[in-house]
Structures are given as structure tokens and as C-alpha cells.
Amino acid sequence: MAGNVKIVVLTGALGSGKSTVAELFARHGAHIIDADVLARRVVDPGSLGLKAVIAKFGTKFLLPDGSLDRKALGKLVFTDPSARKELEDILHPLIRKLHADEVARIKYKTTGNQIALCVIPLFFESRNHYSEVDNVIVVSAPRESSIERVMKRDNCTRDLAEKKYDSQLPLHLKEKRADFVIKNDSDLESLKAQAEAVYKKIKF
């Protein structure tokens, strides 16, 4: 008999520290479903997603090994809103399907109580509806520190990092729509303490 699975969405601004918070929840046994990981899966070599992306944007976005040149495509879509919408229209339904499959798998395997933490950076921006969401957590961080993290993580220019950051819904609007807000504006110990407090509130 299947157990109880609580669906919790973790979102926030780009470069806000969502991965760190997810790791903290994972240590408590939460099952992590990362939309960024799913986004890479739907464009694996030979996938329908990759074929659709190349059909729309051209073979110039293919690397020699047949995989998607994510960096080149990223530069395009974060400087061209219409191209970004076209890409999202292709990928979001595929990501949503994988997400639903993963949730169903967790529910099938669970015999006790389980938290599924769904890391979805574009949860509020996505036109796809994620059903059965019990709670939404937003990780909030100062714009400048987020920009610096994106530059370091993606090895990109400040201009591109700012374009990526500004392509998302403003952070203050995300905070208003959240059940819980975790402020990543101090040190790691502060972040851990807040994550612990939120976890205790949402666990069964």
C-alpha cells in the first residue's frame, strides 16, 4: 500500500542558493526532484526534445558529439525573449511529464511518510500547472550576491548573468506567493537554521 507523500516546491531567484537548501532537506530524507536535471534529460541525444529544439533553432546548436550546445542556446534565449518563449513551449510540457512520472514513482514506492522536494526555478513563471503542491518555499538572496553566483557557476559575463536573473519573475513577487521564505543573506549557519525551521513545520 502506498504511503503519504507531501509535495513541496522549492523555488526562488536565480543564484539564490536553492541547491544548498535542497541538500539540507535531502539530509533529512526528503526525495529531491530537480527540474534542471529533468531539463537536461529531455534533451538527451536522440530524444524527441532535442529533435524538436534542433528543428526550431537549427543544427548550429548541436555539439560534435550530438548533444545540445546548452551554453550557446542559453546565450540566445536570454537575450531574445521570443526565442526563450519558443524554447519553453517545447521543453516545459516534457519536463512537466517527467516530473509527474517521478512523483508517481515516489508515491508507488513509499510505504511511510515522505517529502518530495521539487526544485523548480521557474515554478511561478511556467505556464504548466503543477498539481498536488502542498507547500511552496522561496529562497531569497540579495541581487548582487545572486548575480555573482551565476557568473561563477555558469562562467559567464555580468551582462549575461543579469539578463538571466532579470528574465525571471521579480523576487518580491515570488516571496508574496510563498508559504515560507528562506533568506540567504547571511552565513551558511543562518541558512541551515532557517531550512531546519521550515523543515520542522512541513514534515509529517
Domains present along the chain, CATH in parentheses: 4-202 (3.40.50.300)
- Phi and psi torsions of 103, nearest 5°: -60, -45
Asked whether the beta carbons of 23 and 119 are under 8 A apart, the reply is no
pLDDT at 136: 96
For the chain, what percentages of helix, strand and coil (3-state, to nearest 5) are there? 55, 15, 30
pLDDT at 125: 85
127: nearest Cα among 103, 95, 102, 166: 95
3-state secondary structure 107-131: HHHCCCEEEEEEECCCCCCCCCCCC
pLDDT at 111: 78
pLDDT at 178: 96
Find the Cα–Cα–Cα–Cα dihedral 138, 105, 38, 154, rounded to 10°.
Answer: 50
pLDDT at 131: 67
Q: Are strands 31-34 and 180-183 parallel, antiparallel or unpaired?
A: unpaired
pLDDT at 191: 94
pLDDT at 128: 62
Residue count of the chain, please give it: 204
**Alpha-carbon span 14 to 141, nearest angstrom:** 9
Determine the straight-line distance between the first and last CA of the chain, rounded to whole angstroms. 18
pLDDT at 109: 85
pTM: 0.90
Asked whether the beta carbons of 150 and 14 are under 8 A apart, the reply is yes
Residue 157: CB atoms within 10 Å: 11
Question: What's the CA angle centered on 55, arms 50 and 61, to 5 degrees?
Answer: 65
Helix (H) or strand (E) holding 100: helix 81-109
**Across the chain, which distance is largest between two alpha carbons, in Å?**
52
- Residues of the chain where predicted confidence (pLDDT) is lower than 70: 1-3, 127-129, 131
